[in-house]
Amino acid sequence: MKALVYHGPGKKSWEEKPKPVVKEPTDAVVKIFKTTICGTDLHIMKGDLPTVTDGRIIGHEGVGIIDEAGSAVSNFKKGDHVLISCITACGKCEYCKKQMYSHCENGGWILGNLIDGTQAEYVRIPHADNSLYPIPAGADEEALVMLSDILPTGFECGVLSGQVKPGDTIAIVGAGPIGLAALLTAQFYTPAEIIMIDQDDNRLDIAKKFGATHIINSSNENAVKKVMTLTNSKGVDTAIEAVGIPATFELCQAIIGAGGNIANIGVHGKSVTLHLETLWSRNIIISTRLVDTVSTPMLLKTVNSGRLDPKKLITHHFTLDRIIEAYDTFENAAKEKALKVILTNE
């Protein structure tokens, strides 16, 4: 089969690899139908994630069809259409029992990281019963690719951890696919105001269309000042960090109101200054989270009923064999006006 293989920082190729096989009775081999590229894959390509080694097939999102199911897989059989979760969960360990699948002792985020991933014609999924979700008949499979990672991430790490409530004023820093997923799912709770902050005017315009009440381009406006003006100097109830750099976490600390929640989503590679000298007395909660994908079944229902339309996040389409071109587009997101790119295995 063909697959996108990582060969060290800045080096990738679309090359021949052996087709995966069932190794454990709980495994399933899935024929990829549609997959995509994540911001995290770009971090991998830069060499930011040392767990990813030369020869690894990357990618952790997608939908497909069961090609082979191990003898202990009871929820799926050959031919079933499935959604692949970016998180692998055994369902049996201490963390899985607590629904903290991200820290599963036999899984967690391993796909396209510690084991071969989804940017390939076939992928082996361990603990298939707990790591795949059945796709209901008639569902828009392309839209469901957004449920492998970005929607549960925006929802769980941003909206749930940030305790968004009706009537709240929230700010989301970063209008990439993850920040926009937080924007879409925050609206389950009808916050009164949603302030979106980014440096990319195209993404901010999209945020406005997706329901942001205010947009701030922090490269040409003083974001702290503007948020304080919008909130009568009170600050916001929830500040969601969806970038992953010190400047944006500092911004969240500067705009959080008394009693507020700072929900960090961003993957940080550098330490950040914690301003306890101003925050200690302000009854603030700060949360961090690796997505658990526990909300996937709920999100599937909201997508199927049309309450949530994640297809809005898809801007580009390629056939899977043009994945190198798709990476170029996604890497130049501002210039290409790209959000999520869909790759179809024809």
Ligand X SMILES: NC(=O)c1ccc[n+]([C@@H]2O[C@H](COP(=O)([O-])OP(=O)(O)OC[C@H]3O[C@@H](n4cnc5c(N)ncnc54)[C@H](O)[C@@H]3O)[C@@H](O)[C@H]2O)c1
Q: Which residues bind ligand X (CB under 6 A)?
A: 38-40, 43, 149, 153, 157, 173-179, 197-200, 203, 218, 242-245, 247-248, 265-267, 289-291
Please give the residue whose beta carbon sits closest to ligand X in the complex: 176
Binding partner of residue 173 among ligand X, Zn ion, none, CB under 5 to 8 Å per kind? ligand X
Binding partner of residue 262 among ligand X, Zn ion, none, CB under 5 to 8 Å per kind? none
Phi, psi angle pair for 12, to nearest 5°: -145, 155
Question: Residue 3 CB, nearest distance to Zn ion (Å)?
Answer: 18
Instruction: Give the residue, chosen from 35, 40, 88, 118, that forms a contact with Zn ion under the rule CB under 5 A.
Output: 40
Q: Is 293 in the site for Zn ion (CB under 5 A)?
A: no
Which residues ranging from 146 to 205 are in contact with Zn ion (CB under 5 A)?
A: 149
As beta bridge partners, residue 214 has 195
Who's near 231: CB < 8 A, 6+ residues apart? 169, 193, 255, 257
Q: With contacts defined by CB under 5 A, how many residues of the chain interact with Zn ion? A: 7
Q: Is 296 in the site for Zn ion (CB under 5 A)?
A: no
Q: Is 212 in the site for Zn ion (CB under 5 A)?
A: no
CB closer to ligand X out of 43 and 103? 43
Q: Is 38 in the site for Zn ion (CB under 5 A)?
A: yes
CB closer to Zn ion out of 149 and 241? 149
Question: Residue 94 CB, nearest distance to Zn ion (Å)?
Answer: 8
Candidates 44, 4, 16, 47; CA nearest to 326 is 4
CB closer to ligand X out of 109 and 133? 109
Q: Is 96 in the site for Zn ion (CB under 5 A)?
A: yes
Stretch that binds Zn ion, among 91-99, 162-170, 286-294, 316-324 (CB under 5 A): 91-99
CB closer to Zn ion out of 107 and 257? 107
Binding partner of residue 199 among Zn ion, ligand X, none, CB under 5 to 8 Å per kind? ligand X
Question: Residue 171 CB, nearest distance to ligand X (Å)?
Answer: 11
CB closer to Zn ion out of 90 and 164? 90
Question: Residue 253 CB, nearest distance to ligand X (Å)?
Answer: 14
d(CA 342, CA 288): 29
Question: Residue 76 CB, nearest distance to ligand X (Å)?
Answer: 25
CB closer to Zn ion out of 98 and 225? 98
Residues that bind Zn ion (CB under 5 A): 38, 40, 90, 93, 96, 104, 149
